[in-house]
Amino acid sequence: MKLKRIITLTVFLFLVIGITACSDGTDPGTPSDGSTGSLPGNEPPYEPAESADMPPSPDTSADDGPDTEPPYEIPVPDVTKKEIPDTEALRFTAGMMNGWNLGNTFDASGDWYTGPEENYETIWVGVKTSKAMIDTLKTAGFNSIRIPVTWHPHVDEDFTISEVWLSRVNEVVDYAWDNGMTVILNIHHDDGVDFVYPDSEHFESSARYISRIWEQVAARFAGYGENLIFEGLNEPRLVGTQYEWWQDMGNDICRDALDTLCNLNQIFVDTVRAAGGCNETRYLMVSGLGANADTAVHSRFRLPEDTAENKIIISVHAYTPYNFALQGPNESGSVSEFDMTKTSNTKDIDSFMDKLYKTYISNGIPVVIGEFGARKKGDNDRSRAEFTAYYTASARARGIPCIWWDNHGLTGDGELFGLLDRNKLEWVYPKIVEALLRELE
């Protein structure tokens, strides 16, 4: 499959101000200069957002792009709201509402690019992120944004991040921060033995990379309050092996990978907490292998130990049901229609969400579905909107916010998850956006 497819204070008055900023997400001032799949055998292998974040067709906003959607009403999903514990953490994630991914942008990479580093974010989508773009999200009703970031093209041999790159990431974070949005920053496509590889053999080198990146990012954003979330890793996995997306927890290799990942998650948490400032109590997201729900609920998965109380969020990516949401239209078993009244269409969604609810939400531990969506397959926009309505209603009924993967793929025959034309600042599929936001009213 394709690879897809992120102060010490000297007087008491300033101390009070700093603590206040950490708790309420207000203006941080000048920051420190120091940033489902299914169980094997049930359905085709889980494939994550990364299968969708390769460069889309070159002209993603051409004049002959997607036709305007005909008017129609999205059905109201029949879902039963489950009991949600009244915890500070679950109130926090409820406030995130459903969100949007700035995909194929800061997560892009390409050894062939030789232009200015400040324009690197454009190499896959051809559009530089503007404040007007983020304002468009806020105006539509989105309250959260995930900014995936790939760091390795912008570091030296000691993994020191380029100031040009870190400043540009900071600038776009501020676009959302100034709108009062919740922002998620991560380590995204830094996979492989040179950077992050979750097995025992590469633990020390992976731990060094994770700690170096996060000590710099955490120092940079130490003055930003809890509305800035750090996500340790995107979809940590055994790249290039048969277990990359398809984990068999009865296998020694997969068990070692999950154990190693849990140790790397601990390195992430410890590094951020040690950075001081608002990092001491910031919400942090961690995942299982491949951000797969099944490994996150597996008995072998361990939450990191933390000095902050209930500030760990479980991160899951789930393009479910796979045959509708992610599988290529020309592949065997792929379907393009979704009917929320048919249990055969909805059972996989309810099944993995029930696992997350039982393991985490019912125990007061927050979960965020950091990537989901349904790719365009021919003229199936109505089904995509109906899928979105059901998926997000089912998640909200269990206390889980969802963040749509938008890779700016709007035309062509690739993985078309784009909703917003970033050149025109127009929503190409407003009914899907309506479905994303309707359950929040």
The residues with which 398 forms a beta bridge, in sequence order, are none
Distance CA 434, CA 440 (A): 10
At 313 the three-state DSSP class reads strand
Exposure string for 329-354, b = 16+ CB within 10 A, e = fewer: eeeeeebbebebeeeebbebbbbbbe
Instruction: Determine the 3-state secondary structure of 420 from DSSP.
Output: strand
Query: Rounded CA gap, 220 and 224, in Å?
Result: 9
Contact of 217 with 35, CB cutoff 8 Å = yes
Using CA atoms, how far apart are residues 36 and 199, in angstroms rounded to an integer? Answer: 22
Q: Is residue 371 annotated as part of the catalytic site, yes or no?
A: yes
By C-alpha distance, which of 414, 437, 427 is closest to 59? 414
- Judge if pTM exceeds 0.85: yes
Provide φ and ψ at 199, rounded to 5°: -140, 165
**Candidates 50, 121, 231, 371; catalytic one:** 371
Q: Is the separation of the CB atoms in 36 and 391 below 8 Å?
A: no
Domains and CATH numbers, the chain: 12-438 (3.20.20.80)
Structure token pair of residue 51: 């299968």
- The torsion angles phi and psi of 366, rounded to 5 degrees, stand at -75, 150
Q: Measure CA of the first residue to CA of the last residue in the chain; give whole Å.
A: 38
What's the pLDDT at 241? 96
Q: Which residues are CB-contacts of 398 (< 8 A; sequence separation ≥ 6)?
A: 82, 84, 353, 354, 356, 357, 361
pLDDT at 83: 97
Task: Specify whether the CB–CB gap between 422 and 137 falls below 8 A.
Answer: no
- Determine whether 215 is an active site residue: no
Q: Which of 218, 282, 307, 366 is nearest to 19 (CA)?
A: 282
408 is catalytic: no
pLDDT in tens, the chain (441 residues): 333 433 333 333 333 334 445 754 444 443 333 333 332 222 333 333 334 544 444 334 434 455 555 678 999 999 999 999 999 999 999 999 999 999 999 999 999 999 999 999 999 999 999 999 999 999 999 999 999 999 999 999 999 999 999 999 999 999 999 999 999 999 999 999 999 999 999 999 999 999 999 999 999 999 999 999 999 999 999 999 999 999 999 999 999 999 999 999 999 999 999 999 999 999 999 999 999 999 999 999 999 999 999 999 999 999 999 999 999 999 999 999 999 999 999 999 999 999 999 999 999 999 999 999 999 999 999 999 999 999 999 999 999 999 999 999 999 989 999 999 999 999 999 999 999 998 644
**Cβ atoms within 10 A of the Cβ of 420, count?**
24
Task: Considering only the C-alpha atoms of the chain, give the largest distance between any 2 of them, rounded to a whole number of Å.
Answer: 66
Looking at residue 23, its pLDDT comes to 54
Alpha carbon distance 186, 357 (integer Å): 24
pLDDT in tens, 20-66: 457 544 444 433 333 333 322 223 333 333 345 444 443 344 344 55
Give the orientation angle of helix 343-359 with respect to helix 381-397, to 10 degrees: 30
Q: pLDDT, tens digit, for every residue of 115-154?
A: 999 999 999 999 999 999 999 999 999 999 999 999 999 9
Active-site residue (options: 50, 235, 415, 439): 235
Q: Which amino acid is present at 205?
A: S
Distance CA 398, CA 366 (A): 10
> For residue 191, what are the contacts with CB-CB under 8 A and spacing of at least 6?
197, 234, 235, 236, 237, 239
Rounded CA gap, 372 and 401, in Å?
11
Question: What would the 3-class secondary structure string for 12-44 be?
Answer: HHHHHHHHHHHHHCCCCCCCCCCCCCCCCCCCC
Residue 398 vs residues 29, 265, 353: alpha-carbon distances, Å:
36, 25, 7
- The whole-angstrom separation of Cα 69 and Cα 387 is 16
Mind giving me the DSSP string for 107-161?
T---TT--S-GGGGGGTTTS----HHHHHHHHHHT--EEEE----GGGB-TT-PB
β-pairing, 420-421 vs 144-147, is unpaired
Does residue 282 contact residue 228 with C-beta atoms inside 8 Å? yes
Say how far apart CA 349 and CA 319 lie, in whole Å.
Answer: 9
Q: How far apart are CA 211 and CA 219, in angstroms?
A: 12
Q: What is the pLDDT, as a whole number, of residue 413? A: 87
> Catalytic: which of 50, 152, 154, 188?
188
Cis peptide bond prior to 321, omega within 30° of 0: yes
DSSP H helical segments within 181-321, as ranges?
A: 203-220, 252-274, 293-296
Helix (H) or strand (E) holding 315: strand 312-317
